[in-house]
Structure 1
Amino acid sequence: MSGGRSFGARDRLILVLITVVELVVFLDTTVLNVALPSIGADLGLGEAGLGWVTNAYLLAFGGFMLLGGRAADVLGPRRVFAGGLVVFTVASALAGFAETATVLIGARALQGVGAAVLIPAQLALLTAAFTEPGARNRAFGVWSAMGAAGAALGTAVGGPLTDLFGWPSIFLINLPVGVLALAFLRLLPADSARGGSARLDVPGAIAGTAGLLLVGYAIGALGDATTRGAATALLGLGLVLLGCFVFVEKRSPHPLMPLRLFAIRQVSGSAVVNALVGAAHVPAFALLALYLQNTQHYTATESGLAVLPVAVVNIVISRSLIPFALDRLGAWRVLTVGLGLQALAMGWFARLPEHSTYLVDVLPGAVLLGIGLPAAFVGVTAPAVTAVAQADAGIAAGIVNTAQRVGSGLGVTALLLLAELATSSYRSGLTIAFGVAGALAALGAVLTVVLLRTSVVRTEKAVL
């Protein structure tokens, strides 16, 4: 479809369709953060219940990713993308009109299932739609921008939406996007004929999904002293289930996650590095919000707007510089630079003073993070999904993105605990936590050179 030097009108529409849905999916990971007090007041939820409004989405998002990836390979990425979009849109409507806490939490979990199905299908569709290397590089660059921008934009727009229209609006804004995307599904590449023997591995799906859900829940609960004992037990059970999952996959004729893929260095290496990408950057947003609100006395909305430059810069960089860099340097070098810039950003934030000036002390780090994030996103994703056959592109995407979700959960729990417990000084705790986040990003850069280093194939740059 994209065999020429430039994108046609159809290619542009395909890219807009896939990446706008991507933006909304990742925006929903953070958009409700500043709306939680309003939700709690309206629905009678305490801190524990409000935590589930957030975690229900994140757990389902991470837990069902492998199943979503394999479903895209077995059933076809366009069909699975459509199904995931319907689930996500309906769940968003349920969340927006929820009148009880139970309905809202259930809707958020259903949103997470839809998101887990959508992301691997999107990546499989991109590899099918953009086959010429230069065009694929530009498409992945735009995709990475939307994913990296989503979390920052969610933080920025959640406050104003809640203040102007009420908390249901943060979910209802998804509806027009979902409806319009469904109306243009025919633009996407048609699913190729699937073999009659292809089927989903049900035992593997049950063991793998249950194991990931338990591990994801336990990681989040480890941060609370009152739930740490139960969380440790559930973590052990989750790891046992994941062990059972590997046992089942070795013997299944139609495995949910073919273990042979881990023999491909681009897949296994990308999974390891992407776990570090998540562990480094996701906690940074939470740590920065804590710093701005608790020590600089920003309001929630001001704190959200303070990270908006991260989204703006990464969109600009992804549209202009990253496709060129992928063509000239290769994905592993782009990833190395991206993680290096993230490490510099964390180091900058680690030196934030007790009394800061935004333009001098905060903005430079935000700009560095805005450049580094999309470079890391596209650099770690592209090698895995392009190194496997098209029939395995969905599960390769699922493996890499599941690794980031697990890394994010571990990073948030560990670094927030570190910020709280490392020293008696709250400010010093944040400094140490940012320093560890920078070290994780630097480790990811080193492992990229060790695990993902390849020769560079120069290609013609596609023109968008």
Structure 2
Amino acid sequence: MIPSKSILLTIIIACQLIVVLDASVMVTAIPEIGRSLRMSTTSLTWVQNSYILAFGGMLLLGARAGDLLGRRRMLAIGIGLFTLTSLTAGLAPTAGFLLVSRAVQGFSAALATPAALALLSASFVESKERSRAIAMYSSVSAGGGSIGLLLGGLLTDLISWRAGMLINVPIGVVLLILVQRHIQPTGTRKGRFDLWGAMSSVIGMTALVYGFVQAADLGWGNPATWIWLAAGIVSLAAFVRIEARAAEPIVPLRLFASRQRSVAYLGRFLLVSGNFSLFFFIPQYLQNVLGYGSLQAGLAFLPFTGAQFAMMYLIPGLVNRFGNRKVLTAGLLLAILGTLWLSRIVYVQDGFFPLMFILLILMGIGAGMAFQPLTAMGLSDVEPRDSGAASGLVNVAHQSGSSLGLAVLVTVFNGMLPADPPSRLEFAHGVSASMLGSVVFLAAALVAVLLGFVTARKTATAMDA
């Protein structure tokens, strides 16, 4: 059965929503998880990072699996395993069981996500419909974190933190049925899996993140911190070397021959590094400093989410009129302005409305304007044989930015706390410092984008001459 494009897009967006949502659905529940399973603050960061690292680290292998074994097949396998591990995470009796379930859940998301994005890229080829589809996909990718905060807070307050995992089970079953009914089997081809490349990338990112977590927990003077960081750098260097020599790499280095795609991957990595930490720190600020409950903390992100999703309908028109570059630059400037302003008020603000409310709207507009152009640029002019790898790289940049950015900014946060437990004022000061770190990441994204555009323009002018 040939699916209508609206059904196909609905399936793809729903798949992307549940895997992105699960990166943040536990954030507003973190205090309750800590009490329930007796986990320390440092251990609780792994509720996030075990999922994100497995997700980001295995995305490239998942993209390769879709190319070789068929994208519909990998989409179905990924959704099925995701549904099962959501059940085990929701029923986890211990902290270790929860973290293992979250890691396998991340791996299953890595199988489904690149297959879904590759199906979108291959199915929507006409310029206008492609722009609309990518705008919707990008809005869900960026806004799913906010929805996760709200849903997690609601379920934690009304039922339990476990409900945030268990709710995926019926959704996953429905998606599996839709995939089987409405998506035709896609072609397979012969080839090899680049297992050494996949393992070196996973080990490298995990070691880097763990090194920063060690710095937050034990300090920069501890040798273990530097050993883990060095191991991460060496593993990532080995990954690049393996990919350069592999006959069938999971990351064909020719994808970076396009300056536009390279800028898109780097810009997305830096943008998410700065943006994702907001979902981690602001809900805790609202709960620990302003005294909000889990549901209230989730509801407080509605201005951000609403603004971001509103941009989904405006971005295609803006891009058609002004182009990806101008829209992306304006979005990054708005995100920087909103985050910088918010970082200065969190330790003197005695309420949420109106200033935090307005700034979250501004930050949501900026993020909404930035993600769609970055997605489109990351998939531009890709050969059909590389569509899976390109879609995998878009998501790798997103997830690795989430995990590494959070690890770095948790280190900044902990470095500002003179006491454990901190006072409300000390906690607010730590959040302010971490948000200034977010501004640094966002500013780096803007610089990378502007330099990439200037260099690309000079290259084009030279070629014309």
TM range (shorter): 0.7 to 0.9
Aligned-partner residue type, residue 310 of structure 2? V
Give the C-alpha shift of residue 44 in structure 1.
Answer: 4.5
Give the C-alpha shift of residue 50 in structure 1.
Answer: 3.5
Q: Deviation string for 1:241-285 (max 9, x for gaps)? A: 222222222221111211121112122111211121112111223
What value does the CA root-mean-square deviation take over the aligned residues? Answer: 2.7
Contact 2:24 2:279 in 1 (8 A): no
Q: Structure 1: any 5+ residue segments left out of the alignment?
A: 1-7, 456-464
- Distance in 1 (CA, whole Å) between partners of 2:136 and 2:124 is 13
- In 2 relative to 1, CA 21–224 (structure 1 residues): closer, same or farther, beyond 3 Å? same
Alignment of 1:364-443 (within 5 A): 364-421=358-415, 426=426, 427-443=428-444
Contact 1:10 1:187 in 2 (8 A): no
- Distance in 2 (CA, whole Å) between partners of 1:230 and 1:363 is 41
Alignment of 1:214-253 (within 5 A): 214-225=207-218, 229-253=223-247
Give the C-alpha shift of residue 365 in structure 1.
Answer: 0.9
- Normalization by structure 1: what TM-score? 0.88
Aligned-partner residue type, residue 98 of structure 1? A
Contact 1:72 1:395 in 2 (8 A): no
Question: Which residue of structure 1 lines up, in the alignment, with residue 422 of structure 2?
Answer: none
- Distance in 1 (CA, whole Å) between partners of 2:279 and 2:33 is 22
- In 2 relative to 1, CA 54–283 (structure 1 residues): closer, same or farther, beyond 3 Å? closer
Alignment of 1:31-430 (within 5 A): 31-186=25-180, 190=184, 192-196=186-190, 198-225=191-218, 229-318=223-312, 320-352=313-345, 354-421=348-415, 426=426, 427-430=428-431
Give the C-alpha shift of residue 392 in structure 1.
Answer: 1.1
- Distance in 2 (CA, whole Å) between partners of 1:429 and 1:181 is 41
- Distance in 2 (CA, whole Å) between partners of 1:180 and 1:31 is 20
- Distance in 2 (CA, whole Å) between partners of 1:188 and 1:131 is 19
Q: Structure 2: any 5+ residue segments left out of the alignment?
A: 419-424, 458-465
SS at match of 2:23: coil
- In 2 relative to 1, CA 316–34 (structure 1 residues): closer, same or farther, beyond 3 Å? same
- In 2 relative to 1, CA 297–163 (structure 1 residues): closer, same or farther, beyond 3 Å? closer
Contact 1:200 1:254 in 2 (8 A): yes
- Distance in 1 (CA, whole Å) between partners of 2:5 and 2:231 is 46
- Distance in 1 (CA, whole Å) between partners of 2:437 and 2:96 is 37
Aligned-partner residue type, residue 52 of structure 1? W
Contact 2:211 2:225 in 1 (8 A): yes
Q: Deviation string for 1:413-438 (max 9, x for gaps)? A: 33343345469774555444433423
- Distance in 1 (CA, whole Å) between partners of 2:38 and 2:432 is 36
- In 2 relative to 1, CA 159–193 (structure 1 residues): closer, same or farther, beyond 3 Å? closer
Question: Which residue of structure 2 lines up, in the alignment, with residue 450 of structure 1?
Answer: 451
- In 2 relative to 1, CA 164–351 (structure 1 residues): closer, same or farther, beyond 3 Å? same
Contact 1:351 1:431 in 2 (8 A): yes
Aligned length: 447
Contact 1:296 1:355 in 2 (8 A): no
- In 2 relative to 1, CA 260–368 (structure 1 residues): closer, same or farther, beyond 3 Å? same
Give the C-alpha shift of residue 130 in structure 1.
Answer: 0.8
